[in-house]
Chains A and B, each alone.
Chain A
Amino acid sequence: MVEEVSLPVRLLRLLSAGGIRSTSELARKLGVSEGLVAMMAEDLMRRGYLVSLSGGGECDAGGRAACAGCSLSAACSVSTPRDRLPLLALTQRGRQMAA
Chain B
Amino acid sequence: MATPLRIPALRLEEETRPNQSKLHLVQPSCHDGGPDINPAPDALTIALVGQPNVGKSTVFNMLTGLNQHVGNWPGKTVEQKTGVFHHQGTAINLVDLPGTYSLSANSEEERIARDYLITERPDVAIAVVNAAALERSLYLVAELLALDVPLVIGLNMSDVAEQNGIHIETHVLAAALAVPVVRLVAARNEGVRELVTAALQVAADPASFRPNRPSIRAEHQPVLEQLVALLGDCVRDPYSPDWSALKLLEGDVEVTRQIKASVPPEVWSEIHKILLQHEDAYLDIAGGRYEWIGRMVRAAVIQPRVGAITLTDRIDSIATHPIMGLALLLGIFGLAFALTYTVAAPLSEWLSGVVLGGLTSFAKVILAGAPALLSGLVIDGLIAGAGTVLAFLPILAVFFALLGVLEDVGYLARGAYVMDRFMHLMGLHGKSFLPLFLGFGCNVPAVLGARILEERRARLLTILLAPLVPCTARLAVLAFLAPAFFGANAALVTIGLVALNLVILAVVGIAVNKMAFKGEQTAFIMELPLYHVPNARTVGLYVWTNTMSFVKKAGTLILLASGVVWVLSNVPGGDAEASILAAAGRALEPAGRLMGITDWRVLVALISSFFAKENTIATLGVLFGVPEAGATLATQVAAVMVPGARLAFLAVAMLFIPCLATVVTIRQETGSSKWTAASIGLLLAISYGAGVLIYQAFRLLGI
A residues with a Cβ closer than 8 A to B are 2-3, 6-9, 14-26, 31-33, 35-41, 43, 47, 49-50, 53-54, 57-59, 62-63, 66-67, 69-79, 82-83, 85-90, 95, 97
Contact = CB atoms under 8 A, between A and B. Distances in A.
Nearest to A54: B434
Given A35-B133, A73-B445, A22 B438 contact: no
B452 A72 contact: no
Contact of A21 (B133, B524, B545): B524
Contacts of A7: 287, 290-291, 294
Interface residues of B, number: 75
A72 B403 CA distance: 13
13 contacts: A19-B421, A20-B430, A22-B528, A23-B526, A32-B290, A35-B134, A53-B434, A59-B448, A70-B444, A71-B550, A77-B438, A88-B525, A97-B280
A20 B417 contact: yes
Given A35-B134, A41-B525, A97-B280, A22 B320 contact: yes
A40 to B, nearest CB: 6
A78 B524 contact: no
B313 A15 contact: no
B523 A89 contact: yes
Contacts of A63: 438, 444-445, 448-449
B294 A31 contact: yes
A66 B668 CA distance: 10
A90 B133 CA distance: 26
Contacts of A37: 525
Interface in B135-188: 135-136, 139
Nearest to A30: B294
Contacts of B434: 53-54, 59, 85, 87
Which of the listed residues B134, B417, B524, B664 has the most CB atoms from chain A within 10 Å of its own CB? Answer: B524
A57 B452 contact: yes
B528 A23 contact: yes
A7 B251 CA distance: 19
Given A22-B417, A59-B449, A75-B400, A33 B286 contact: no
Contact of A76 (B135, B293, B441, B528): B441
Contacts of B280: 97
A21 B139 CA distance: 24
A16 B472 CA distance: 33
A17 B413 contact: no
Contacts of B437: 77, 85
Contact of B545 (A24, A40, A70, A74): A74
A47 B287 CA distance: 13
A85 B413 CA distance: 8
B286 A53 contact: no
A26 B546 CA distance: 35
Given A19-B421, A23-B525, A70-B442, A35 B135 contact: yes
Interface string B524-562: 111110000000001000000110011011000100000
Contact of B441 (A9, A22, A36, A77): A77
Q: Which 5 pairs of residues, A with B, have the shortest CB-CB distance? A: A6-B287, A18-B521, A71-B553, A76-B441, A15-B523
A39 B670 CA distance: 37
Contacts of A59: 434-435, 445, 448-449, 451-452
Contacts of A97: 280, 283
Contact of A32 (B297, B441, B449, B521): B297
A33 to B, nearest CB: 5
Given A20-B433, A23-B525, 11 more contacts: A8-B287, A8-B290, A18-B424, A20-B430, A21-B525, A22-B320, A63-B438, A69-B664, A76-B441, A77-B441, A90-B522
A54 to B, nearest CB: 7
Which of the listed residues B215, B283, B546 has the most CB atoms from chain A within 10 Å of its own CB? Answer: B283
Contacts of B297: 32-33, 35-36
Contact of B524 (A9, A24, A82, A88): A88
Contact of B421 (A16, A20, A73): A20
B665 interface: yes
A19 to B, nearest CB: 4
B291 A3 contact: yes
A21 B528 CA distance: 10
B612 A9 contact: no
B440 to A, nearest CB: 7
B577 interface: no
B115 interface: no
Nearest to B427: A18
B283 A18 contact: no
Contacts of A47: 251, 282-283
A85 B280 CA distance: 29
Contacts of B482: none
A87 B420 CA distance: 13
Interface string B27-55: 00000000000000000000000000000
A72 B550 CA distance: 7
A35 B521 contact: no
B445 A78 contact: yes
B316 interface: yes
Contacts of A49: 283
